[in-house]
Chains A and B, each alone.
Chain A
Amino acid sequence: MQALVNFFPLGNADTARLDLADGRKVLIDFAAMRCDDDEDDQRCDLPTTLRRDMDKAGRDYFDAVCITHTDTDHCKGFGDFFWLDHAALYQGKGRVKIRELWVPAAAILEENLKDDARLVRAEARYRLRQGKGIRVFSRPERLKAWMEAEGIDFESRKHLIVDAGKLVPGYTLNGPEKVEFFVHCPFGWRQDENTVVDRNEDSIVMQATFVEGGRKTRLLLASDVNYETLAAIVKVSRKHGNEDRLAWDLMKLPHHCSYKSLGPERGSNETVPDPDVKWLFEDQRQPGSDIISPSWPIPVKGSKADDDVQPPHRQAANYHRRITVAHDGEFIVTMEHPSKSDPKPFAYKITAFGFALALAAPMVAGTAAAASPRAG
């Protein structure tokens, strides 16, 4: 089976579905952003789209669902879509099950949460208590005190905790899944020192390495981290001789093309990246690599959106576009692909020749099969 990396037009929000070579499915974030009552909302109906794929694959579960952090644009609709083990209220027909939930320690430790963030926390805490169906990304020390206070035996749960600098268990390049996940963030040192949890900077950053026909294709999933965290990741990786863990063919841009993930200053026309971040974006990219910006269309210069503090930032996009084109790559904005007027989900195939956009001519049969026509 050909592995696929799927992206969805969700505005400024993240969701990526990895269809692995062995049929397993891994979802990185879940953000059902579309307003159902707004007909003009061009964002994709994520629950329907994902469910259709589930039906096609004949399954009702994801092998893993990773919530990189619990901001709304990464977990909106979690409680409506998934079957949650912790409460019967979130169980029922049509809900999609999660074999293994991946969360950063912050998602468990943070207090005063609302809505879906609270549900992610409840589910993660429940699973940790049960001792199964969960991976927590952090240094063990961070969780230890909380677990002791909660009366959860630490030693018997230790294997569920994945440290930065390690591979996520259960996924290897040599196995039929042909993929491995290397964890960059959250760091141990940061989490030890932090008293206040900073969600973005304590979120999960991973490098997924696929292999097909002997060729590796690396996907960098950088959540919403800022340039300081990226620079820290670069420094740590270099210190450990792990430069190749930052090589990438596909980059899911952090924080919806925010200049803050590049450098301290927005700039007028082009953001100037921090030196370590520049190294990541320019020296670590492989020939013909692509960047995916999970964001609204890039604002036109002088437009109202261009003044907005919220990403996407034109100046950051200009930098990425220039560098990407110079390296024979493509800079794809989820809400601009294939067109701003009609954005659609898209996928990359992982092939023995590197990644390739999955393209097919639209066919009547395919269209008809996906529709539910009614007659009166």
Chain B
Amino acid sequence: MDVKAWLTESFDEVIEVDDLTSSAAASFARFVDRHAAELAAVVALRRGGAGELVELTFRTGRPQQSVVPIRRTERIGVRFAGGDSMPFVYVLRSDFPDTAHQNLTAEGSPRAICIDDRSWAEARLTWTPAELVQRILAWFRRAAEGALHDARQPVDPLMFGTGYNIIMSRALIDNVNTQDLVAVPDDTGTLMRVIPLSQLQGRTLALPLTVAAYRVPPAQMVRLSFAPGNLGSLADLLAARGIDLFADLRTRLAEWLNDARTNAARINSCLAVVVEMPIISPDGIQQGTDFRAFVTAEKVGDIAVALGIAHKVESKDQGGAAGFVTALTAGAVDEAALIAMAVLPVEVHATFDRDLATRLAGRAIPDARKAVIVGGGAIGAHVAPCLTREGRFRWTVIDDDVLLPHNLARHVGFGGDVTRRKSELLAGALASILDDEDSVATAITAQVGVEGQQNDDVNAALDGADIIVDASASLLAERFLSDHYSKARRFSIFFSPAGDAAVLLAEPIDRSVTLRDLEAQYLRHVVREEALSGHLETPVRTFAYTGACRAITNLIPESRVMALSGLVAEGLGRAADADEGIIRIWSLGTEGQVRSFSYPAEDVRRFDVDGWQVSLDAGLRSRITAMRHECLPNETGGILLGVVDIPARKIHLADAAKAPADSIGSPTGFVRGTDGVQQLIDRSMAETQGQLRYVGEWHSHPPLVGVMPSVTDLSQINWLATIFDMDTLPGLMLIAGEAELAVVFMRHSEASSPLAERSVR
């Protein structure tokens, strides 16, 4: 290509700086003159049909050994087209290399480097000539270092530049031959939705469109460097990628012409050639696919004539409805006629499917795991759509509630949805986000975790799930889900009662730590972490939405729900991508500040004694060990705090307090004091809404003594069994030895025979 000829043709008038009408062009030219002499020098200022051009020599800062052949000084032209377009940077050299990050220019134009992909309307607010210069410099530097894009970015430029767009689902592209299509333009005429003719409703302006779709195999993929402008150059472009456009069109079009009556509409519609190109990153990995379309103004019939397989007929008598007939003997392809047929490059937007959602969320691998979410209330209705928009999960929504007016304060539902089942409402919302062939979401209207109620659908859904998300805000449902026979990994998400914090409990992938275990660990952190003081406090102000005494709802504004739900959704996605279990808490301050707390799930050891299960996690074990060690050679001890589930006969030990100040420890015994004990129990209860309670006593044994209860210990467990009988709980004592722990357990009714379970630490 001849740069000089292009320059004189496109920008025929050479002007002075005062003649520049574009203020950006003038300020750029002046900036270069006055401030950037060491970088660039203006050679000429030009004007033409395409706008104003500042032509300059530019020092590229090319390193000694450049990855692409850039010169130390390049001649460049910056075009200011006015209106809503970004200054366009041409490199005025016919042999400038084809690199990534160039704008696609028309055939016959010099190459243009893509230095800025923002919209001009937005960029101009802060645009300065210095920034333009800096961006050009940065482009050259990255080009020279072979770093124009990171490895995950596709090699092709996204912008076609014609401004025309069509929207089409992948399914439609894959089945273009099965139905007649029309393109329905929007009110600007530049954006068209391609739909089957059969779906066209009412009287709408619609362009009959025939689509021929091609797929470039990954191995054949090469970067586009120019946008083809006619059918001839389009055929060349495809030929370079292993596709013989004309031969294929001859076959396709001949078939339609053979049944011209049926295909009359098709033969008289415009042709759109849709090319599906793999997006290959520079490291050779396919990132997905991209669609480009090239639309002709000519009818399919006229193209068939140029291809030498049809004749145009003047009257219907000669060839039926189509106006074209098959040529009896196929003639030669009229290349000149095809080159004269202009094609308009058009961007194709595939509808929003899982692949696209995944990519736009910045992830690489689509996540179509089956997730059951229990609870379609505030947190579920925000977190699930958020994850769906990020391409995550195939959902089953379980809820038995209906949407009431006050729910609109914190939900995806609208006024018209009131009285609808939350399960169906949320599943419908999720399904409408992704254009996916597989069902994105289904609904089960049922209550979960109510004793005596079994629901086959619920059981089947839970059993078939990969992931179960408890968003029920109910301890009962959470524990039901924790105990369910399904092998799916569990998560629980909920807001604090005051709505100023959100919590995520994530089981490890092997479920060695369950939701129940995490619940106890979470409560320990709430009590121990000073910054979380008041985390579970019930707000003073609530709202009774009817006169009934349980019809109380919290006063949490939607803005907070959204903020916290976003944090939870991100945390949930991340936890679901990792194998480890985790507890996360996000606490939102009054000024919008977020504090984030993160705790690994601690391994749990379970003791089964007499129909009860006592669980003890590694965090607590090491804490007890440390306290024992600190007091050696004396014994030490204190109270135990834990979570109890009386019907399920489960006790989760959550925390062990250190010895009160007035305790007496010796190498042969320990007497627990009372200083501060009541206060600690009260505070733990208060901080955890009564969930973390006093469950027993612990003490240490000196080395070489073992962990079996001594005679003194036996009388203590007797005492414990007596007092815990008040709460229908067993007495519980934990003994920490050199290498072992023993849980001593006794129920009042059988006070004479305590049971002990030992465990090596």
Contact = CB atoms under 8 A, between A and B. Distances in A.
Interface of A: 215, 217, 249, 286-290, 330, 337-339, 342, 344, 346, 349, 351-364
Interface in B7-57: 35-39
Given A338-B38, A344-B38, A359-B59, A353 B130 contact: no
Contacts of B63: 349, 351, 353-356
B348 to A, nearest CB: 37
B38 A361 contact: no
A353 B144 contact: yes
Interface of B: 35-39, 59, 61-67, 72, 130-134, 137, 141, 144-145
Nearest to A366: B130
B602 to A, nearest CB: 40
Contacts of B72: 330
B59 A357 contact: yes
Contacts of A357: 59, 61
24 contacts: A286-B64, A288-B65, A289-B64, A330-B72, A339-B37, A351-B63, A351-B145, A353-B63, A353-B66, A353-B67, A353-B145, A354-B63, A354-B65, A355-B64, A357-B59, A359-B39, A359-B61, A361-B36, A361-B39, A361-B131, A361-B133, A362-B36, A363-B134, A364-B130
A5 B137 CA distance: 20
A330 B134 CA distance: 22
Contacts of B141: 356
Contact of B137 (A286, A351, A354, A361): A361
B97 to A, nearest CB: 15
B39 A356 contact: no
A289 B72 CA distance: 12
Given A359-B39, A362-B35, A354 B133 contact: no
A249 B36 CA distance: 27
Contacts of A364: 130
B36 to A, nearest CB: 6
Contact of B61 (A215, A217, A352, A358): A358
Nearest to B140: A359
A361 B134 contact: yes
A338 B61 CA distance: 13
B127 to A, nearest CB: 13
B137 to A, nearest CB: 6
Q: By DSSP majority rule, is chain B's interface helix, strand, loop, or mixed?
A: loop
B144 A356 contact: yes
Contacts of A361: 36, 39, 130-134, 137
A287 B64 contact: yes
B553 to A, nearest CB: 52
Contacts of B134: 360-361, 363
Contact of B145 (A352, A355, A358): A352
Contacts of A362: 35-36, 130
Given A351-B145, A361-B131, A362-B35, A356 B137 contact: no
Nearest to A344: B38
A217 B37 contact: no
B37 A353 contact: no
A354 B35 CA distance: 28
Given A288-B65, A290-B64, A330-B72, 20 more contacts: A289-B64, A337-B38, A339-B37, A344-B38, A351-B63, A353-B63, A353-B64, A353-B67, A353-B144, A353-B145, A356-B62, A356-B63, A356-B141, A357-B61, A359-B59, A359-B137, A361-B130, A361-B132, A362-B36, A363-B134
Contacts of A353: 63-67, 144-145
A356 B59 contact: no
Contacts of A339: 37-38
A270 B144 CA distance: 34
Contacts of B64: 217, 249, 286-290, 353-356
Nearest to A362: B35
A287 B66 CA distance: 11
A174 B37 CA distance: 39
Top 8 closest A-B pairs, CB basis?
Answer: A354-B64, A338-B38, A356-B63, A361-B133, A353-B63, A359-B61, A361-B134, A288-B64
Contacts of A290: 64
Interface centre among B39, B63, B134 (most CB of A within 10 A): B63
